[in-house]
Structure 1
Amino acid sequence: MEKMEKPLNPPEYTPHPQHPPPLGFVPPQPHVQTTTVVMEQAVHFGPKCQNVTCPQCRHQILTRTESKSTTRTHLYALLLCLFGCWPCVCIPYCVDSCMNTDHYCPNCNAFLGTYQS
């Protein structure tokens, strides 16, 4: 049976301050990881529906809006009650300017942003 010798890898070159690198030597290159960043355009939402491109499903859509009461809405109602205008307590809950408007995609129901008046 014949013995097969494994080919030896050439030894790695370690630079010496007094000797130049051998001819044709290419120093090892560091691994560079590339990252692709997609920049989305900032959309400033208003109180009404808007035409935008949904960042989730990439469709051109007209947003679906929902008005939601906030802490500010509850404070307005509390102030009306404290000042004796208790019959008017429901007004902040009926006026859109006292509430936030949330915008959603009608295709994928993704939350897109909020308008705060």
Structure 2
Amino acid sequence: MDATMENKMGLPPPYEPLPPNPAPPPSYGFSTGPPMEQPRTEVVTSQPLNPGPIVLGPGPTGLQCPKCNKSIVTRVDYVPNNRTHIVSAGLCVIAGCCCGCFVPYCMKSCKTANHYCPKCTAYLGSADPS
């Protein structure tokens, strides 16, 4: 059978032998000894900035500021809230005059305590009166 007859029958042409694989390139390393160990990379992770809720009391509280990471004692601003207004209205009705209605506005225990960082002035939270 010749080559033209094989092509007519749908057979593939005969394969030619391939040249042998080339030799790998020479090593350009400078040492001929065992391979050196690579230095280890250590990954250091920091703790989360806000590990949990900050517990704040009615007065200045010592803690680490989550914004500036300084150890501080909070600055507290007392502001009236709905409870202050309700107690004031109740005293006005019970006393029958307006003299008693100013007392809750002078008491820290009837106001909300807003805590701020004295270093960076960040708002840290509030403590409602109990």
Q: Shared topology, TM-score over 0.5?
A: yes
Measured in 1, the distance between the counterparts of 2:84 and 2:109 equals 9
Please point out which of 98, 105, 109 is paired with 2:110.
98
Is 2:75 the partner of 1:57?
A: no
Shift of 1:85: 4.2
Q: Take 2:69 and 2:47, find their aligned partners in 1: how far apart are those partners?
A: 16
Pairwise CA RMSD? 1.8
Q: TM-score, normalised by structure 1?
A: 0.64
Structure 2 residue runs without a partner (length 5+): 1-45
Per-residue deviation, 1:37: 8.4
Report the equivalent of 2:78. 67
Gaps of 5+ in 1: 1-35
- After superposition, residues 1-117 of structure 1 pair within 5 angstroms as 38=48, 39-83=50-94, 84-117=96-129
The structure with the largest helix share of the pair is 2
| Matching residue of 2:24 | none
Q: Deviations over 1:39-87 (max 9, x none)?
A: 4232211111111110111111110001110011011111111221421
TM-score by length of 2: 0.58
Aligned residues: 82
Counterpart CA distance in 2 for 1:61 and 1:37 is 19
Larger Rg belongs to? 2
What's the secondary structure of 2:105's corresponding residue?
A: helix
Query: How big is each residue's C-alpha offset from its partner over 1:24-44, in whole Å with a ceiling of 9 and x where there is no partner?
Result: xxxxxxxxxxxx982423221
Q: Structure 1 vs Structure 2: percent identity of aligned residues?
A: 34
